[in-house]
Amino acid sequence: MDVITDKAELTELLTEWRRAGDHIALVPTMGNLHAGHTSLIDQARKHAERVVVSVFVNPTQFGPDEDFDEYPRTLDRDTRRLRKVRADVLFVPNVETMYPFGLEQASTVSVPFLADKFCGSHRPGHFDGVTSVVTRLFAIVQPDVAIFGLKDYQQQMVIRRMTEDLHIPIRIVSAPTVREDDGLAMSSRNSYLSEEARATAPEMFKALNRAADEIRQGETDFDKLEGLLMNTLSDKGFQPEYAAIRRASDLSRADSSTAELVILAAAMLGDTRLIDNVLVTR
């Protein structure tokens, strides 16, 4: 596996592959890779002969009081892990490569509406940062397909919308959430959790599943269920930001006839922000 920091070098390699008729899949990450990330690489393999993984801790998607500085950077370990799962290339650009005109003068891609609610309203500017960096990665790599985790449900919706709306000829594939044995969704941020918080963290997935069960058993008062979810999270020691039951296809409000739903939640647990979601089919 090649580890490439230089854009021109990457382009040369990609051109060779394309000339040989290979399809290219892109798996964008911020590193500190875990089994959730490697599951995306497994998915990528199903869609393309060549898999490019990027590791870039993108400054524009962090708010001023967020964890950009603390975010775990574990490139050596990530490289070893990617060699084991046989990724074809690891692209590790620096800020100058990704934002050639500097962060202040960087062009921005925004997806209004979809990106304004939920995580977007609690992390102003976050999704603009995500879409702006993903657009750059798409333009540099020009993959046939790009893989995103359902763990970040709203993110993959926003990226799907952006890709479709801007006529970007890349297929977006979403991959299921990989969890620890106790149900906690794997996340690079789980390493921030204290022992006590780590023991509490799986309660979020449990609460989401209980709400999903209620819906399957016929509950249609989603406002009530959202309120219960917020209360449960508070009772368990979280500081919930939102709990929402929405149409899975576009995050709009669901009603009693909606067949495919997603239940989303975000909460602080101590200093760590956790998000999770479950899909419900009725």
Considering the complex, what minimum distance in angstroms separates the CB of residue 92 from ligand AMP? Answer: 13
Judged by CB under 6 A, the residue of 109, 141, 145, 185 near ligand AMP is: 185
Contact between 81 and ligand AMP by CB under 6 A: the answer reads no
37 labelled catalytic: yes
Judged by CB under 6 A, the residue of 134, 186, 207, 262 near ligand AMP is: 186
Residues 123-162 that bind ligand AMP (CB under 6 A): 148-149, 151-152
Considering the complex, what minimum distance in angstroms separates the CB of residue 10 from ligand AMP? Answer: 19
Contact between 60 and ligand AMP by CB under 6 A: the answer reads no
CA nearest to 28, candidates 169, 156, 191, 176: 156
Contact between 52 and ligand AMP by CB under 6 A: the answer reads no
The Cα–Cα gap between 151 and 33 comes to 14
Burial tier of 13 (Cβ tally within 10 Å: 0-12, 13-18, 19+)? middle
Considering the complex, what minimum distance in angstroms separates the CB of residue 194 from ligand AMP? Answer: 20
* Residues involved in catalysis: 37
Q: Given the rule CB under 6 A, which residues bind ligand AMP?
A: 29-30, 36-37, 39-40, 148-149, 151-152, 175, 177-178, 185-188
